Chains A and B, each alone.
Chain A
Amino acid sequence: MNKISLKFSILITSVVLAATLAGVWLAEIYREHESRAMLLPDRVITLFPDPKPLTAFALTDHKNRVFDLASLKGKWSFLFFGFTHCPDVCPTTLAVLARARDNIAKNTVGAEDIQFVFISVDPNRDTASKLGQYVDYFDTTFLGVTGDNAQIANLAGQLGAAYQVAITPGIENYPVYHSTAVFLLDPRARYHAVFTPPHDAETISKRFKVVRELEAGNAT
């Protein structure tokens, strides 16, 4: 085995290990919420009535501003993990989220307290400026966020978002595998609900309206 392929094997092994740990973590979250998590009959949203507060993480947005736990507070956040070299799933999902945002903005409550965040799991290729160009295209309010691998794994792990970056020396278009869920965090930075694909804008905006009303009811 030569040096490069050895390095590559180590990388793949560690990524697979990380993904496995993420899986174990996810199973743990599901177990924790098992008695209370509600997969609504439409099978597109799972609600956690006892949402799990996130812990500290440190990432950077496409304007080179810090994106951390504080950035989630006071807003409902829709998070999606992907990468810009993704020709099918990511643009499809971001286009749906842009329409969902339009729908929500048309609502009486409006869109002042919501944010949509695209988190690239491929910081190797996705620079801040590239991410900016990418998210701007779908909606100028969208945030593109990335950071170092440990911090991406930190946030993804807290949400049970699986991903795998198969960096291959000399291969420009290396494959990236990533979760297809859209994670909903509440204004207290808690993991509140998750939307599972196939995503559609109308369902997301309608379900979000209900979730927000339920939460407003809980708060009073």
Chain B
Amino acid sequence: MRWRHPVFVCLILALTLDPAASEEAGVSVRDAWIRETPPGMTMMAGYMELRNNTSRPQVLVAASSSGFETVMIHRTIVKDGMAGMVHASQIELTPNASLIFAPGGYHLMLMNPKRTLRAGDPVVINLEFRGGLVLRVAFEVRK
């Protein structure tokens, strides 16, 4: 496939110029935090409150951070009396509504931190939305 094909160039331009994508305040994040873990543990979880301030759905498609080897969007589910995690490939945010990532529900699963993180440490996680919007969010490590 030729990625420099004019059709693709137009498509990419169109996506980049989409008003929703450039509207930084379209989605806002509050109370972003990561739970401090016992020493030597390689799995952490990040929580936050996402708010879609626009009148159309916004779709969170990925998250990444230079502080971790892998970041995934997960959801804890309880089935047959057992808790387990399922990977959420994307999450749609309802217009003008909030979605909370909280213990026992949606969370960012943060694998293999590059350095030991202690309460008070700041970590930046990039949230990527459909349409190209990327939010750089400062998470705080909390006990």
Chain B residue nearest to A90 in the complex (CB): B83
Confirm or deny: A55 has a beta carbon within 8 angstroms of a beta carbon on chain B.
Answer: no
**Most chain A beta-carbon contacts within 10 A, residue among B40, B79, B103:** B103
CB within 8 Å for A88 and B103 given contacts A133-B39, A173-B111: yes
Confirm or deny: A187 has a beta carbon within 8 angstroms of a beta carbon on chain B.
Answer: no
List which A120-151 residues lie within 8 A (CB) of chain B: 130, 133-134, 136-138
On whether the beta carbons of A130 and B40 are closer than 8 Å, the reply is yes
Confirm or deny: B45 has a beta carbon within 8 angstroms of a beta carbon on chain A.
Answer: yes
Chain B residue nearest to A198 in the complex (CB): B104
Confirm or deny: B107 has a beta carbon within 8 angstroms of a beta carbon on chain A.
Answer: yes
Q: Which of B38, B45, B78 contacts A133 (CB 8 A)?
A: B38
Confirm or deny: A91 has a beta carbon within 8 angstroms of a beta carbon on chain B.
Answer: yes
**Most chain A beta-carbon contacts within 10 A, residue among B37, B38, B110, B111:** B38
Residues on B with C-beta less than 8 A from A23 are 80-81
Binary A-proximity of B40-51 (CB < 8 A = 1, otherwise 0): 111111000000
Chain B contact residue count (CB 8 A cutoff): 26
Q: Measured between alpha carbons, how far is A23 from B79 in the docked complex, in Å?
A: 12
Q: Is the interface of A mostly helix, strand, loop or mixed?
A: mixed
B71 to chain A, nearest CB (A): 12
On whether the beta carbons of B82 and A91 are closer than 8 Å, the reply is no
Residues on A with C-beta less than 8 A from B107 are 87-88
Chain B residue nearest to A164 in the complex (CB): B82
Confirm or deny: A89 has a beta carbon within 8 angstroms of a beta carbon on chain B.
Answer: yes
A140 to chain B, nearest CB (A): 12
Chain A residue nearest to B143 in the complex (CB): A95
On whether the beta carbons of A179 and B82 are closer than 8 Å, the reply is yes
List which A29-70 residues lie within 8 A (CB) of chain B: none
On whether the beta carbons of A91 and B35 are closer than 8 Å, the reply is yes
CB within 8 Å for A84 and B41 given contacts A162-B80, A197-B104: yes
On whether the beta carbons of B81 and A173 are closer than 8 Å, the reply is no
Residues of A whose CB lies within 8 Å of any CB of B are 19, 23, 26, 84-89, 91-92, 130, 133-134, 136-138, 162-164, 173, 175-181, 197-198
The list of the 3 closest CB pairs from A to B, nearest first, reads A137-B38, A177-B84, A92-B103
In addition to A87-B110, A133-B40, 4 A-B residue pairs with Cβ atoms within 8 Å of each other are: A84-B41, A92-B103, A162-B82, A175-B84
